[in-house]
Amino acid sequence: MEKKRILIVDDEEMIRALLFQAFKFFGYEIETAENGAEAIKQITMKTYDLIITDYMMPKMDGLELIQRIKMLNPSTPVLVVTSDGPECELLKSGALACIKKPFNISELQKISQDILDGRPPSTPTGKYE
């Protein structure tokens, strides 16, 4: 069976490293990008089973990134990690779920696994209704 591919997009190197290790442990193929512009370059070259992105980033915020992802590949699931982002707007734009910073790594892994398995994400905010 082919490994699931996850793209982690965050401008904070420490967060990228933490998430890389947390998901690599489960045998996923992990790639990272430090901003939305870099992520778009990667998305045009490869497909991903899940994109986990920060909301507040330089060059391109998470909202614009979601909109561009959905133009390139509408079926790519996106999970947003945010401390103060407009959750409703992010969900309306195509994010499957939002998780608040500071996040619990186990909760983030569970939500991601739900998405990768094709189940609705089990989050406090859930999907936009």
Residue ranges covered by each domain of the chain? 5-116
pLDDT for 1: 62
Mean residue pLDDT of the chain comes to 90
Highest mean pLDDT among 66-75, 81-90, 92-101: 66-75
pLDDT for 30: 97
Percent of residues, the chain, with pLDDT higher than 70: 94
Instruction: List strand residue ranges (DSSP E) for 1-129, in order.
Output: 5-9, 29-33, 50-54, 78-82, 97-100
Query: Mean pLDDT across the stretch 40-57?
Result: 96
- pTM of the prediction? 0.91
Highest mean pLDDT among 12-16, 88-92, 116-120, 121-125: 12-16
Q: Is the pLDDT of residue 125 over 60?
A: no
Q: Is the pLDDT of residue 7 over 50?
A: yes
What CA–CA distance (Å, rounded) separates 11 from 14?
9
Handedness of CA 15, 73, 59, 94 (dihedral sign): negative
Q: Is the pLDDT of residue 39 over 60?
A: yes
- CATH 3.40.50.2300 is right for the domain spanning 5-116: yes
Confidence category of residue 127, pLDDT binned at 50, 70, 90? very low
Confidence category of residue 108, pLDDT binned at 50, 70, 90? very high
The order of strands in the sheet holding 5-9 is: 29-33, 5-9, 50-54, 78-82, 97-100
